[in-house]
């Protein structure tokens, strides 16, 4: 009968079965795999409720936004070894940036050279050129620093777990 349920309903059933005995520790291995967005958010809310009831949850996931939103402590593993571990504030200390700026420009080499002059390390996240800002800056301050270099787009974002993950993996 359970095999006739959708993937999302099968996940919910598995979780309900795991909770029957009121465990103090719940191990969830990629619990949102295969779920649609609404079901994923519903499961996140259930996980938060379980945490508030004092249940310790060990969560494994490849979805870094999921780990960032749900976990008080995060471990980054590679081939069974812990490369980094801590809460988000501790993990953010691994990157010397307060903010990350993603840019698109036809003059990447000039932008990178200017960033070096300004003391902004650069990275590529996929094909996205990013600069690490040592402090939060207003958009006009950033654009003034890159005066004369045309940007097709620019976006500011906080240091996220995905940035930390990529940096830690490169260091190993």
CATH of the domain at 67: 3.40.50.300
User: Is residue 104 domain-resident?
Assistant: yes
User: Is residue 87 domain-resident?
Assistant: no
Token representation of residue 150: 């045309």
pLDDT at 100 over 70: yes
Domain extent, residue 146, equals 93-171
User: Is residue 16 domain-resident?
Assistant: yes
For residue 33, the model assigns a pLDDT of 85
Helices vs strands, H then E, count in the chain: 7, 8
User: Is residue 27 domain-resident?
Assistant: yes
> Are 83 and 76 a contacting pair, CB within 8 Å?
yes
* Same domain, residue pair 11 and 67: yes
- Cα 116–Cα 134–Cα 64 angle in degrees, nearest 5: 105
* Same domain, residue pair 106 and 167: yes
Instruction: Find all residues with CB under 8 Å of 84, minimum gap 6, and list them.
Output: 75, 76, 91, 94, 164, 168
CA-closest candidate to residue 164, choices 62, 94, 73 = 94
User: Is residue 85 domain-resident?
Assistant: no
* Same domain, residue pair 127 and 164: yes
- Number of domains observed in the structure of the chain: 2
For residue 55, the model assigns a pLDDT of 95
For residue 172, the model assigns a pLDDT of 62
Token representation of residue 171: 């260091």
Give the start-end residues of each E strand in 4-162. Answer: 25-29, 56-60, 74-78, 81-86, 99-104, 122-125, 128-133, 153-157
* Same domain, residue pair 67 and 117: no
User: Is residue 140 domain-resident?
Assistant: yes
| Mean of all residue pLDDT scores within the chain | 92
Q: Which helix (H) or strand (E) holds 145?
A: helix 139-145
- Give me the torsion for CA of 157, 172, 111, 95, rounded to 10°: 40
* Same domain, residue pair 104 and 164: yes
The CATH code of the domain that includes 166 is 3.30.70
User: Is residue 121 domain-resident?
Assistant: yes
What is the mean pLDDT of the segment spanning 128-154?
A: 94
User: Is residue 29 domain-resident?
Assistant: yes
41, 71, 101: which is the final residue of a domain? Answer: 71
pLDDT at 98 over 80: yes
* Same domain, residue pair 109 and 165: yes
* Same domain, residue pair 65 and 107: no
* Same domain, residue pair 62 and 120: no
* Same domain, residue pair 6 and 44: yes
pLDDT at 35 over 80: yes
| Rounded distance between C-alpha atoms, residue 157 and residue 166, angstroms | 16
> Are 74 and 67 a contacting pair, CB within 8 Å?
yes
CA 134 from chain centre, in angstroms, equals: 19
pLDDT of 50-76, one tens digit each? 999 999 999 999 999 999 999 999 999
For residue 171, the model assigns a pLDDT of 76
CA-closest candidate to residue 111, choices 97, 93, 131, 125 = 131
């Amino acid at each position: 009968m359970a095999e006739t349920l959708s993937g999302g309903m099968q996940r919910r059933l598995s979780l309900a079965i795991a909770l029957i005995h009121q465990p103090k520790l719940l191990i969830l291995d990629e619990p949102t795999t295969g779920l649609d967005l609404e079901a994923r958010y519903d499961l996140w809310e259930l996980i938060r409720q379980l945490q508030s009831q004092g249940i310790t949850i060990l969560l494994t996931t490849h979805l870094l936004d999921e780990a960032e939103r749900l976990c008080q402590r995060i471990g980054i593993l590679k081939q069974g070894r812990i490369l980094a571990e801590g809460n988000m504030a501790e993990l953010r200390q691994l990157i010397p940036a307060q903010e990350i700026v993603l840019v698109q420009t036809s003059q990447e080499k000039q932008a990178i050279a200017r960033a070096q002059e300004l003391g902004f390390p650069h990275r590529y996240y996929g094909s996205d050129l990013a600069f690490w800002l040592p402090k939060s800056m207003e958009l006009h301050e950033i654009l003034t620093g890159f005066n004369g270099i045309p940007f097709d787009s620019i976006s500011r974002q906080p240091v996220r777990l995905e940035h930390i993950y990529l940096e830690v993996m490169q260091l190993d």
